[in-house]
Amino acid sequence: MPTRELESDLCPVHGRSWNEIKRRIIVSLLLVFALLYYVLPLEAGERTRLIFTGDIMAHIEQVKAARRSVSYDFAPQFRRVAPLFNDALAVGNLETVFAGERAGYAGYPAFNTPDELAGAIAAAGIQIVTLANNHILDNYERGAARTIDVLDSAGLLWTGLAKDSDEINNPLIVEYNGILIAFLNYTYGSNVEPSGEVSRDVFMNIMEDTAVMEGLSLAEASSCDLTVVCLHWGDEYKFVPTDRARAVTDLCFKNGADIVIGTHPHVLQPVEMRSADVSPKLVAWSLGNFVSNQRTPPRERSVVLAVDIEKNSEAVVMIKRVAIAPTWVSSVLMGGREKFEIVYAGTGDRFNHAGLPKSELSSARAAGKLVLEFLGAEGDPDEEGFYTLWDSASPDILPVSGRKSPQ
């Protein structure tokens, strides 16, 4: 039998030791605090960060580099820049498909990539991918439909495609930190025309004025706080937007869009701020290639775009800061295998460059300097490695390009 002294250490109701009861109470309180921190919306005046990347491509050289004995590992291609995605809602443009091994893995011109890339994208910290682009039908509608299934399995959200004709132009609505954000995605077209036989498998959002206006109308009806339109457009390898891109952007802003993000040219184009009655508008004409095997400068350099937003005391969400982190794709031969890595190309000191040849880091920083000059970023990076392009504290100071190209 337990002694009386030991019995006095027990709770008379639960029959457990008082230390055990205290431990359980502390654990419960910690869980409650964690729930309040991560689930409850931000208070007015607290900022939320949105992140946007350029094209996520997978040329066959990248696939070969990711090959392991019985699988593929794309995670090393993203690991050095993963800190850029901390505490943010991140969006990237997926410019390949997951049609499965039977379809044959391939790069340009008809991409098909191992499913493991989806998991690597998610592990890097990207939560949303846009699919309306000229490569999404590279393995026809069935390949696009399987891509959706792979993304769902990886826990990635997506927009730009629809599984049913009734869902065409529907925005992806995401609640993040108590802010309701609508994402729309359209493309100028596809390299492969939809085939009537299986068109019921997937539907792609085409960048027609009526379609864009319908999507924006649906976003407004959702009572969202912020609307982001991602558009696959423009001329490849050109450093300025087309007249068509400008016209569609004007249409978007006139009909309720707050942010417009462009992809497809595979090179950077300027970032612009536009004044508005309540909150400024942002357009990034092209974010270039986030990762690819396009080695001709400046196709191997890009930026991660950060947009800080804030809900004020009147529950209006406003853009407060726009910043960029320059990146560069390193490609070196190591141990008889080509190695691809996205490298932070700025001067911030929180990034791991261990094992990166000095010549690669030097090339990255030289490219990053030109990118910063091209987009008009000045000053030193913040603690996260981002350089300010625009800040609401000085709203009249706009980014001004110091170069005609980022090369």
pLDDT for residue 65: 96
Those residues of the chain that have pLDDT short of 70 are: 1-44, 194-200
CATH homologous superfamily of 45-391 equals: Metallo-dependent phosphatases (3.60.21.10)
Question: Which of the 8 DSSP states describes residue 275?
Answer: -
Domain limits of the chain?
4-37, 45-391
pLDDT for residue 337: 85
pLDDT for residue 44: 60
pLDDT for residue 3: 33
**Collapsing DSSP states into helix, strand and coil, what is residue 407?**
coil
**281-284/259-263 β-pairing:** parallel
pLDDT for residue 192: 87
**CA gap 385, 31 in Å, rounded:** 32
**CA gap 324, 52 in Å, rounded:** 10
Q: Tell me phi and psi for residue 284, to 5 degrees.
A: -110, 105
pLDDT for residue 277: 75
Q: What sign results for the dihedral spanned by CA atoms 348, 354, 355, 357?
A: positive
pTM of the model: 0.88
pLDDT for residue 202: 87
Indicate the residue type of 336. Answer: G
Contacts of 63 (CB under 8 A, 6+ apart): 72, 105, 107, 113, 114
pLDDT for residue 4: 33
- Cα three-residue angle 403-381-294, rounded to 5 degrees: 55
**CA gap 141, 353 in Å, rounded:** 41
pLDDT for residue 8: 37
**317-334/337-344 β-pairing:** antiparallel
pLDDT in tens, 245-298: 999 999 999 999 999 999 999 999 999 999 877 789 999 999 999 999 999 999
**CA gap 194, 199 in Å, rounded:** 6
**Collapsing DSSP states into helix, strand and coil, what is residue 138?**
coil
